[in-house]
Structure 1
């Protein structure tokens, strides 16, 4: 299996690092070598935050080279254009607009909803993702994040059907 490159981007306080922890834990528990890198910037003041996650049979570097991200997950609309250069041609962008307005019980679960959309595009069992939610988040957050994840999976499935319709 080739290395899968994923860049997560947003603003401080949006759970970019936590989402990369969930993704990394899921990939690691699925038996892959995982490398992760973070750039916090002014994260405590709402500044840009990015995290690179790479997984596969053998991963040499934690950094995703510019233009080589298979997936770009963005948690704040203002960060889409800033980070678009990471995405390779034919790569998949999942932005907050993909999640229907008002659909989340808690807006802080947007990061997990976007991971839910990603989850249908990766070859990990849904149970592996749920175990990662339980491992990485406090118990009081499990239910709301499981619901956000399920909503994201529905969005991801619609995105997949739309790509099939477009012939991409």
Structure 2
């Protein structure tokens, strides 16, 4: 099912943070969920000076037809930032009227969200803005994470959806 939101144009999502926070894994899950929706998907990654602790960003574009994986500055429909201190650094990626999704939106979440699941909880927030069925998201989470991490991350995803 492709709805009006995604039927006519590519959707541009930048996911950013620091190495080791699951930025690339989050982009893999998003790309997989969009692909399961039957959309054309392109993805690219940019790693900073070090993979652990350096800046990392990933562009994910999906829609009926996507030619390039790269998102030009100021063209992201959504900017998902896993590390709060990376919001200002990555804000130029967001277009006017685009949506910023950051850990601040998870403040007040019931219980303690493990740091290793913040990326998936943020995808839960993002999922409320996209026309990709929950089943595709959940299947993508299972396909991209080891089985021992399924329960925790599916719960984090649902928490993000509830917080949206």
Does TM, normalized by the shorter one, top 0.5?
yes
Alignment partner for residue 133 of structure 2, among 125, 131, 134? Answer: 125
The structure 2 residue matched to 1:3, chosen from 6, 10, 13, is 10
Between the aligned partners of 1:7 and 1:19, the Cα distance in structure 2 is 10
Kindly state the Cα deviation for residue 105 of structure 1 after the two structures are TM-superposed: 4.0
In the other structure, the counterpart of 1:94 is 101
Q: Which residue of 2 is the match for residue 38 of structure 1?
A: 45
Q: Any residues of structure 2 matched to 1:7-156 within 5 Å, and which? A: 7-100=14-107, 103-156=111-164
138 and 84 in structure 1: CA distance in 2 versus 1, 3 angstrom threshold: same
Answer yes or no: is the 8 Å Cα contact 1:25–1:132 preserved in 2.
yes
Deviation at residue 101 of structure 1 after TM alignment? 5.6
Deviation at 1:104, TM superposition (A): 3.9
Deviations 1:83-122 (A, max 9, x none): 0001011100001111126744422100000000000100
Structure 1, gaps ≥5 residues long: 157-168
Aligned pair count? 156
TM-score, normalising length: structure 2 = 0.92
CA 1:43 to 1:75, structure 2 compared with 1: closer, same or farther past 3 Å? farther
TM-score by length of 1: 0.90
- TM superposition outliers: structure 1 runs of 4+ over 3 Å: 101-105
